[in-house]
């Protein structure tokens, strides 16, 4: 926006900055694990949100950044919602292929080993901390592609677009879709995007409609956590049958 860079260069810069920032946050965050790691990451978001609110020379503070240009390629500007939907689907597919190949690689197998037994993985000579930092950086870079698309689509952003509720929504996508399953994440994203729209079709008293829809939405999420914590599409596991 301020340097006049084309969309592709800005996107690459967003990925690099997000990856570097994620790597820096990973160093203190990795002192904890499991649920504590999730809480720590959410705590960092609160800190970053307040930085966005007060660093007005860069972020515009509460006023945000208006006038973000539409993405363009070789003189062609993406203007219509249909063209933007196609661009988003292409980039989502590229991200899916990239992550699937990463998960299926030897690096991905190390990730699974760390999840199952970190001590054994470290005893086998793997750099557990280094692998975790790389995962943080890759996650930040992939998320930055979505953030760049969002900013260029709305042509305006402010810190209120990046609140704790957004992170909870992303965590909900993983919980509902199924952790450890990339297809499950897609299913969860589609479901949680369409569900609020479907609830608009439910005939509810106008004065209570918004609150009741939120209650129904939250109840469905809580139901998944209690009755199907593995999500809609849980991770596939191999079982071995032992014969006498």
182 and 100 Cβ atoms separated by less than 8 Å: yes
Tokens of 39: 């809480």
**Res 128: pLDDT:** 86
**Res 208: pLDDT:** 67
The model's pTM is 0.79
For the cut 80, the answer to whether the pLDDT of residue 47 exceeds it is yes
Length of the chain equals 244
Distance between first and last Cα of the chain:
69
184 and 178 Cβ atoms separated by less than 8 Å: yes
Q: Give me the residue label for tokens 């919980």.
A: 175
Return the higher-pLDDT residue of 238 and 82: 82
d(CA 97, CA 182): 10
Tokens of 82: 């249909």
pLDDT single digits (tens) 128-172: 888 888 988 999 999 999 999 999 998 899 988 888 878 888 888
d(CA 149, CA 84): 9
């Amino acid at each position: 926006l301020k340097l006049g860079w084309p969309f592709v260069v800005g996107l690459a810069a967003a990925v690099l900055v997000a990856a570097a920032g994620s790597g820096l946050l990973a160093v203190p965050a990795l002192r904890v694990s499991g649920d504590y790691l999730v809480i720590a990451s959410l705590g960092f978001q609160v800190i970053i949100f307040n930085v966005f609110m007060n660093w007005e020379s860069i972020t515009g503070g509460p006023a945000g950044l208006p006038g973000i240009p539409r993405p363009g390629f070789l003189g062609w500007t993406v203007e219509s919602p249909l063209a933007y939907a196609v661009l988003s689907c292409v980039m989502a597919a590229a991200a899916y292929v990239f992550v699937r190949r990463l998960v299926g690689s030897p690096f991905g197998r190390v990730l699974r080993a760390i999840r199952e037994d970190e001590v054994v993985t470290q005893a086998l000579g793997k750099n557990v901390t280094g692998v975790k930092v790389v995962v943080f950086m890759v996650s930040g870079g992939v998320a930055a592609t979505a953030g760049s698309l969002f900013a260029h689509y709305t042509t305006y952003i402010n810190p209120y677009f990046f609140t704790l509720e957004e992170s909870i929504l992303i965590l909900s996508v993983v919980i509902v879709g199924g952790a450890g399953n990339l297809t499950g994440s897609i299913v969860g994203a589609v479901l949680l995007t369409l569900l609020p729209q479907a609830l608009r079709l439910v005939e509810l008293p106008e004065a209570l409609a918004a609150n009741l829809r939120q209650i129904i939405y939250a109840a469905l999420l809580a139901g998944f956590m209690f009755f199907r914590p593995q999500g809609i599409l849980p991770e596939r596991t191999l079982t071995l049958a032992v014969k006498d």
